[in-house]
Amino acid sequence: MNIIQIILVVIVAFLAGMEGILDEFHFHQPIIACTLIGLVTGNLTACLILGGSLQLLALGWANIGAAVAPDAALASVAAAIILVLGGQGQAGVSSAIAIAVPLAVAGLLLTIIVRTLATGLVHLMDAAAKEGNTRRVDLLHIIGIIMQGLRIAIPAALILAIGAGPVRELLQAMPDWLTDGLAVGGGMVVAVGFAMVINMMATREVWPFFALGFVIATVSSITLIGLGAIGLALAFIYIALSKKGGGSGNGGNGNIGDPIGDIIDDY
């Protein structure tokens, strides 16, 4: 790659890192990040296939409670760069995907570091707010977002500098005890995150839907699109039945058979 392409790739990586927090233009999504890197490097077809494949994996990655999902931005950017540097085209997509998954897990460490540093920025913002210094608060916000961008841009620049070969060898050299430990720890954190969310949303009105969704999700033949369609249908059914419900045992707030509406009104 020439210098212009390298600069453009780093810019895409920087935007992907920021969008991991801003979540406005979705540059951190694999289908977009990989496509942009393929566009600026002249490997659009291969990177588009890579982005689509990684997007299917990233559909199940979400921050739930205290559980932080694998870093989709770092996985997509790093995998796309390695695919381009490997020069194999579409034949190297499978290898890039295999490298992307451990990179996504390793990216959790960078996320923790940046968020820990951002905690210090929050205290500085509090101090500036007490002084009425709004310009400093805005500046600290910008610094925090820049830190998120550098979280992806710096590893991308390092991969461009050292090449794909050493990175692949480093990942393969990771001992089993380390990778197994990351897997166990990640599974435990995810379980805690789900428990926190369930604890927050546990009401008599929601539990039946949770139980039904849990059972349906065990059917392996149902895809994510199918589960989404079932959830949407249940939502419409619930709204229709709520409007048709009657009686006076709904809190007396004027809602007709809508217990969730009563809860919101009472709140």
Residue with tokens 């007490």: 130
What is the CB neighbour count within 10 angstroms for residue 143?
13
Region of 26 please: left (phi>0), alpha (psi -120 to 50) or beta. Answer: left
Half-sphere exposure of 98 (CA within 13 A, CB side): 10
Other residues' Cβ atoms within 10 Å of the Cβ of residue 104: 24
Per-domain residue ranges of the chain: 3-176, 203-266
- pTM summary value: 0.63
Q: Is 186 exposed, middle or buried (0-12, 13-18, 19+ CB in 10 A)?
A: middle
Ramachandran quadrant class, 51 (left: phi over 0; alpha: psi -120 to 50; beta: rest): alpha
- The one-digit pLDDT tens for each residue of the chain (267 residues) are 789 999 999 999 999 999 888 878 888 888 999 999 999 998 899 999 989 888 877 776 666 555 667 788 888 898 899 888 877 778 778 777 777 777 777 777 788 888 888 888 989 999 999 998 999 999 999 999 999 999 999 989 988 888 766 766 765 676 777 666 655 655 565 566 566 667 766 677 777 887 888 888 788 788 878 888 888 888 888 888 777 765 444 444 444 455 556 666 665
pLDDT at 251: 45
* pLDDT score, position 186: 52
pLDDT at residue 218, rounded to an integer: 82
Closest by Cα among 64, 67, 65, 63 to 28? 63
User: What local confidence, expressed as pLDDT, does residue 172 receive?
Assistant: 66
Alpha-carbon distance of 33 to 156, in angstroms, equals 12
Contacts of 6 (CB under 8 A, 6+ apart): 160
DSSP state for residue 67 in the 8-state scheme: B
Cα separation of 185 and 70, whole Å?
12
